[in-house]
Amino acid sequence: MTTPQPPDSQPNTRRDPVVRSVYNDQLNLAPPTNLPFDWLLEPPAAVTVPLETITVKTTGYVFPEGAACLVPVSQPASEFTPPPPQPSLAPSPSAGHSTAIAAETVDYVSLNLESCTRVRPPQDVVKLEDRLLYLLQPPLERVFANESLSFPFQPFPYQLDGIAFLYPRNEAVIADEMGLGKTMQAIVAMRLLAHQGQARRILLVCPKPLVTNWQREIALWAPELPVAVVDGKQSRRQWLWENVDSGVLLSNYESLLRDREAAASAPFDLVIIDESQRIKNRLSATNQAVCSIPRRRSWALTGTPIENSVEDLVGIFQFVSPGCLRPQMKVSTIRSAVKDHVVRRTKDQVLTELPPKLFRDADLALSPEQQQAYQLAEEQGIVRLHEMKRELTIQHVFELVLRLKQICNFDPATGVSAKADRLEADLEECAASGRKAIVFSQWVHSIELLHERLQRFGPLQYHGKVPPKRRDHVLDQFRNDPDRHVLLMSYGAGSVGLNLQFAGYVFLFDRWWNPAVEDQAINRAHRIGAAGPVTVTRFLCSGTIEERINTVLEEKRELFNSVFDPASPTSPASKLGLSREDIFGLFQLQFPDAAA
């Protein structure tokens, strides 16, 4: 641009005769002759302001689907061939391996198109073109509608967010609190990938008791997906691993471990592991079997990504994103490293309409018989531990803890139990109101004693001694028989994956070693679909080992929050889990090495 000059520095065009002459010539004007004044006005001062041409630089991409539409002009438009349809996972006639579980009769609905859930690119997608392709996709609701995919129920908005989180990710963990619908989110994301031809061969690994639950859920949320359960004789399993090249292979961890070589023989487009805390020990055979499966996408589902220490997360990430986490990493480093891979929502955050969960801590005094047995066992036990000196191991201390906890449940000589008395009284109220209760215990023996004692409430048992084939029947009875008011469950068999939201009461007859497993247990009842508030009663015998363990459990809760809730202060490493020192500390014992 030309900078305007001050008036004095410009040529005086009005006075300059040469300029004046040119001016007249160019305008082709002849001066009138009869005017009493010089008609030719002095030309005004002029400033030249050249306008720069605005140039625009652009960045652009033709995406794969658009590139398929580009047809050279030599080809007549009428001969345009549309892009090939997306591959479908509809069961092929040869898919005779499918194990179908019919969904309950439900009216399927389309998603509400007024909401708008967007798929966002994961951080590890670096190329701008790829990131834009994610951002420019239609909202998830439209994608489902355009694929003509309908659902048995309208998902909650946070569930659609979870699906939008999983869909673009090769490495993802859904760590929602129990009861928020991780199963459904994984199935719907899997369904979408299958419909778009991005996932053809899928492996789903879950604990054995949950296999039928997964079959049922897949039949409900993705009825068109063929499912083959890896079970039965070795020859049948081998055939399934080697020949099922589309649809969902559903295996439990034990089968996978047995068939690890066959399972790793061909790659999967997607591997989902449910209750992924099962592979928290990165040196375990299960972890190594799961990690050895060749795969393009790795998704893990867990409500309790950290049960004991942050090392649990390292084990899970060995499957999800190998190399992302290393042992001994700082909590703050882990938090930032997993941020883009993990989604975790709690009920408080997303289910504001879920009925409340009411906690009652039943602090009980031991009965005189129990008190006597407890004191004797503790005194003798501690004396024995002290006598062992350098031969003392953690196993010896554990044995004493277990012994004392069992006495807190029942007096071994008489069978008297303060907890059972209280439970019986509470169940009276529960049964009278026509409601159902779940009672959790660590020991099958305690469950069997309770079973005898609670006969008038129609108790059912669900634990490791109940054959897996009978377990679904037990749950059906509990769900449908109005005279069955109580389900007695062990933490090991019944704390994960089951939907028992029709139960309004949960009793923790004794306490587990970590709060995550207790939460899992509680959330069998307190989950989506719960009709009313869930009352959780935690039995605790005061002045006993149970009280001391409870203190350690509270510290574990702090640890969990320090990784998944940035607002919480970081817990010091000394508070991680139930350490050796913690266990010895229950009896004011010192670990032999430390003492030496």
Near another protein by CB under 8 A, which window of 112-120, 297-305, 516-524, 560-568? 112-120
Provide DSSP, 353-378: TSPPEEEEEEEEPPPHHHHHHHHHHH
Here the tokens at position 27 are 């305008």
Site track 523-562 with another protein (rule: CB under 8 A), x = hit: ----------------------------------------
CA angle 345, 349, 350 (to 5 degrees): 80
Task: Look at residues 339, 289, 344 and name the one whose alpha carbon lies nearest to residue 171.
Answer: 339
Residue 210 or 324: the one with the smaller Cβ distance to another protein is 324
Task: Look at residues 517, 284, 545 and name the one whose alpha carbon lies nearest to residue 399.
Answer: 545
**What angle do helix axes 311-320 and 331-338 make, rounded to 10 degrees?**
30
Residue 117 or 308: the one with the smaller Cβ distance to another protein is 117
Strand partners, 109: 151
Site track 265-304 with another protein (rule: CB under 8 A), x = hit: ----------------------------------------
Provide DSSP, 376-393: HHHHHHHHHHHHHGGG--
Site track 133-162 with another protein (rule: CB under 8 A), x = hit: x-xxxxx--x--xx----------------
| 8-state DSSP, 41 | P
Rounded CA gap, 484 and 455, in Å?
Answer: 10
Residue 3 or 33: the one with the smaller Cβ distance to another protein is 3
Rounded CA gap, 327 and 313, in Å?
Answer: 10
Site track 63-82 with another protein (rule: CB under 8 A), x = hit: x-xx--xxxxx-xxx--x-x
- Does residue 60 touch another protein according to CB under 8 A? yes
Instruction: Give the nearest distance from C-beta 572 to another protein in angstroms.
Output: 24
**What angle do helix axes 368-388 and 394-409 make, rounded to 10 degrees?**
180
Contact (Cβ atoms closer than 8 angstroms) between residue 540 and residue 550: yes
Rounded CA gap, 579 and 595, in Å?
Answer: 16
Tell which one of 62, 285, 358, 573 touches another protein (CB under 8 A): 62
Strand partners, 506: 438, 536
Rounded CA gap, 55 and 285, in Å?
Answer: 63
Residue 4 or 468: the one with the smaller Cβ distance to another protein is 4
Task: Look at residues 142, 146, 203, 192 and name the one whose alpha carbon lies nearest to residue 165.
Answer: 192
Residue 17 or 60: the one with the smaller Cβ distance to another protein is 60
Residue 46 or 56: the one with the smaller Cβ distance to another protein is 56
Residue 49 or 596: the one with the smaller Cβ distance to another protein is 49
- Does residue 112 touch another protein according to CB under 8 A? no
- Does residue 48 touch another protein according to CB under 8 A? no
Tell which one of 11, 24, 110, 118 touches another protein (CB under 8 A): 118
Instruction: Give the nearest distance from C-beta 78 to another protein in angstroms.
Output: 9
- Does residue 126 touch another protein according to CB under 8 A? yes
Burial 533-569 (b: 16+ CB within 10 A, else e): ebbbbbbbbeebbbeebeebbebbeebbbbbbeeeee
Instruction: Give the nearest distance from C-beta 96 to another protein in angstroms.
Output: 34
Contact (Cβ atoms closer than 8 angstroms) between residue 242 and residue 262: yes
Rounded CA gap, 481 and 434, in Å?
Answer: 11
- Does residue 84 touch another protein according to CB under 8 A? no
φ, ψ (nearest 5 deg) of residue 364: -115, 150
Instruction: Give the nearest distance from C-beta 193 to another protein in angstroms.
Output: 16
Tell which one of 27, 51, 283, 596 touches another protein (CB under 8 A): 51
Tell which one of 124, 261, 429, 476 touches another protein (CB under 8 A): 124
Tell which one of 59, 328, 480, 588 touches another protein (CB under 8 A): 59
Instruction: Give the nearest distance from C-beta 160 to another protein in angstroms.
Output: 15
Residue 52 or 387: the one with the smaller Cβ distance to another protein is 52
Residue 132 or 528: the one with the smaller Cβ distance to another protein is 132
What order of strands is seen across the sheet that includes strand 437-441?
A: 357-364, 534-541, 505-508, 437-441, 486-490, 460-462
Near another protein by CB under 8 A, which window of 46-54, 444-452, 481-489, 548-556? 46-54
Site track 304-343 with another protein (rule: CB under 8 A), x = hit: -------------------xx-----------xx-xxx--
Binding site for another protein (CB under 8 A): 1, 49, 51-52, 54, 56-63, 65-66, 69-73, 75-77, 80, 82, 113, 116, 118, 122-124, 126, 128, 131-133, 135-139, 142, 145-146, 323-324, 336-337, 339-341
